[in-house]
Amino acid sequence: MNDKILLGPWVRRFLLEHLAAERNLARNTQHSYRDALTLLIPFVAGKTQQTVDRLQVVDVSADLVRLFLVDLEQTRQCAITTRNQRLAAVHALARFVGEHSPEHIAWCGQIRSVSFKKASKAVIPYLEKPQMDALLAAPDRQTAQGRRDHALLLFLYNSGTRAEEAAQVLVSELDLAGCSVKIRGKGGKQRHCPLWPITVVELTTLIAGRSTAARLFFSIAAVIRLPALASTHWSSGTYARRRSRCPRWRQNGSAPTRSAIRWRRTCSAPAWTSTRFAPG
């Protein structure tokens, strides 16, 4: 059978050549598109009663794509945003096939006619400055871990970075003389963020005696246990009581278990670039 008719060769070219070599998309984006097709192809094969290696391009019809999206929401309990992300991967595959195979342009138009579903945008909460000051005062700065927690919270408050971004910062990426730091974000994007003088002082103490290749916040457990600190109702006493009930890996900085990693929740704080909002 002609390779232009079979779906398999197109998927291989799309994942290995188009996404990686031609567009140079981020690795996470490549994996996301691959995972979407990993779900779609067995679904289509089951509906058409064919093996995955004998599927043709036209077997992935617009009607089957719509059924696939419904199955994502109802069977797999996916959110609308996840459903739209899977559809974006299918659209990208259809566009790639249509651009390189004129006989599939009509099929490409039918697939791309499947529309995205509108999703409500979540309201992003924030903390007022007195609440943020109370949060910064929660860790016990008489201990090494408490000083690290305070420096991490202050760094996140100052720079507005994600927890994952903060975990990747190296000591060499700090410019304490110029009061700035280089942040490596999603998709390989980089940006420079100014640091308050109080943040520079805390980080100077934190990195004393550390090599430039070391991570600024050396324990990933620090980032995972950060959401437990992000309650505006905490005082120093409740911080100590809650910490006494924490799993041992979160107290001694050892590697977390897989179930503990799933426990992590997203925590965000406002990023203020003006020193008017700096603590103190």
Indicate the pTM of the whole model.
0.64
Which amino acid is it at 219?
S
Contact status, residue 29 vs residue 19, Cβ threshold 8 Å: yes
Q: What is the set of domains in the chain, with CATH numbers? A: 7-112 (1.10.150), 129-277 (1.10.443)
Identify which of 117, 31, 8 has the alpha carbon closest to the alpha carbon of residue 66. Answer: 117
| Long-range own/partner contacts, residues 236-239 (CB < 8 A, 24 or more apart) | 236/137, 236/138, 236/140, 239/138, 239/139, 239/140
Identify the residue whose tokens are 């897989």: 258
**Pair 9, 1: CB distance under 8 Å:** no
Q: How many CB atoms lie within 10 A of CB 104?
A: 19
CA dist list (Å): 123 to 85, 126, 151, 179: 20, 10, 28, 32
Residue type, 247: P
- Give me the count of residues in the chain: 280
Q: How far apart are the C-alpha atoms of 253 and 223, rounded to whole Å?
A: 10
Cα-only R_g, the chain = 24
Amino acid residing at 211: S
Q: Please count the other Cβ atoms lying within 10 Å of the Cβ belonging to residue 214.
A: 13
Q: In which order are the strands placed within the sheet that holds 180-184? A: 174-175, 180-184, 190-194
Tell me which DSSP letter residue 15 carries. Answer: I
- Written as tens digits, the pLDDT of the chain (280 aa) is 567 899 999 999 999 999 999 999 988 899 999 999 999 999 999 999 999 999 999 999 999 999 999 999 999 999 999 999 999 999 999 999 999 999 999 999 999 999 999 988 888 888 898 999 999 999 999 998 899 899 999 999 999 998 889 988 999 999 999 999 999 988 778 999 999 999 999 999 889 878 888 888 876 544 455 554 444 343 444 444 444 444 444 444 444 444 444 434 334 334 444 555 666 5
Among candidate residues 214, 234, 121, the one with its CA nearest the CA of residue 168: 214
Nearest CA to 14 among 90, 85, 96, 73?
A: 96
